[in-house]
Amino acid sequence: MTLQPAHRRIATITVGMALLIVFLVAGMTFKVPYVALSGGPTVNTLGDQNGKPVVSVSDAVDPHPKGHLNLTTVSLHDQMTLFQALGMWLSSDYELEPRELYYPPDQSVEQVQQQNVAQMSSSEANATAAALNYLHKPTTLGVDDVAPKGPSAGKLKQFDRIVSVNGVDVPDPKAVVEVLSKLKPGETIEVVVQRGNARLTEQIKLGERPDDKSRPYLGVTFTTMAEDPNMNITYNVGDIGGPSAGTMLTLSIIDQMTPGDLSAGKFVAGTGTIKPDGTVGPIGGITHKIKAARDAGATVFLVPAENCAAATSDTPDGIELVKIDTLTSAVQSLDSLDDPKATRPSCS
């Protein structure tokens, strides 16, 4: 049977509407295997967050320096629908990347988040070590956290300086691991700590590691601390993860432990990993971080040297890109900000 022209038009419209509905439903529900990157929050490391200092240094020379030394972040948008991804792809504020680069197929979202938290914790420890080394302050191994129900609960406390474990000097976590590797769960060890002005000796019965019951468990997270028991450094960065805040956290410590203001009245932002020896390392999402910083009011941005090429590919107006490769170069550039005739290493 041959359809009449009117019937053919109705059939064509019906099929077209059905396809349109399928497309709309798919576009609004189908999740694409991509994530979108954009500029995230900037946080002043000299300021407060949720009523607490972002970086706190007890016994600081200048505990309340003025100005801005902002760490910068990248926001990651996941679980996007097809339409959301298309909208972000068309926008200059977002960059699409394959999801597997940020969420490997063999890892859960929770595992990735835990890794980001661990990277931030390591970044904080490196920031402390880098600042103290730069200022030529002696360092020691200290207690960062004690598991509430672990073997050391009630025995060791945050900010304890570890003097020795079973009579062995332990300058770093590896030394503690080496001592524990010769022991078994259930054995009792002697831990000598410096707590404030008091030196204490604690007897601690080792537990079993949650992931391997044959290995001993102390239930303590260690970190680098100032040898001076009156100098404690703490961080309050909120939900920010990853290692890229290290350089700006370090500069905040130095600013508080030295007279004057490193920012010299400028709105300074930046990024970069930090090593205990002061080496500044590259990070991801540099263009997004620079744009977010400029939108927040920054006029100077500290860029890791290895990120300079990418940074100059899309630089907003009104912001100076200062190239840094070490903590020393960063401080020297900041020291020159109040001199209108000074020149600084530039990415341009």
**Helices 246-256 and 327-335 sit at what angle, rounded to 10 degrees?**
60
Cα 192 to chain centroid, rounded: 32
CATH number, span 139-226: 2.30.42.10
pLDDT in tens, 175-200: 999 999 999 999 999 999 999 889 99
Q: Which residues pair with 233 in a beta bridge?
A: 57
Cα angle 139, 143, 148; round to 5: 175
Mean pLDDT of 283-297: 94
Domain boundaries, the chain: 1-30, 34-134+231-335, 139-226
315 DSSP assignment: P
Residue listed under structure tokens 């190239």: 323
pLDDT in tens, 87-139: 777 777 888 888 888 878 888 878 878 888 888 888 999 999 999 999 999 99
pLDDT in tens, 15-38: 566 665 655 555 556 577 887 888
Taking alpha carbons only, the member of 264, 282, 285, 262 closest to residue 273 is 282
309 DSSP assignment: H
Q: Are 345 and 308 in contact (CB under 8 A)?
A: no
- Give strand ranges (E) for 90-236: 95-98, 139-146, 161-165, 168-169, 188-195, 198-205, 207-209, 212-217, 220-226, 233-235
pLDDT in tens, 298-308: 999 999 999 99
**Helices 109-134 and 246-256 sit at what angle, rounded to 10 degrees?**
40
Q: Does the 34-134+231-335 domain belong in CATH 3.30.1460?
A: no
Do the domains spanning 34-134+231-335 and 139-226 agree at the CATH topology level? no
Q: Are 262 and 46 in contact (CB under 8 A)?
A: no
Coil, strand, or helix at residue 45? coil
pLDDT in tens, 136-165: 999 999 999 999 999 999 999 999 999 999
pLDDT for 296 equals 95
Q: Which residue has the higher pLDDT, 146 or 13?
A: 146
Query: Of all helices (H) and strands (E), which one includes residue 82?
Result: helix 82-90
132 CB-contact burial (10 Å; exposed 0-12 / middle 13-18 / buried 19+)? buried
Coil, strand, or helix at residue 19? helix
pLDDT for 128 equals 95
CA distances from residue 29 to 15, 19, 310 in whole angstroms, order as listed = 21, 15, 34
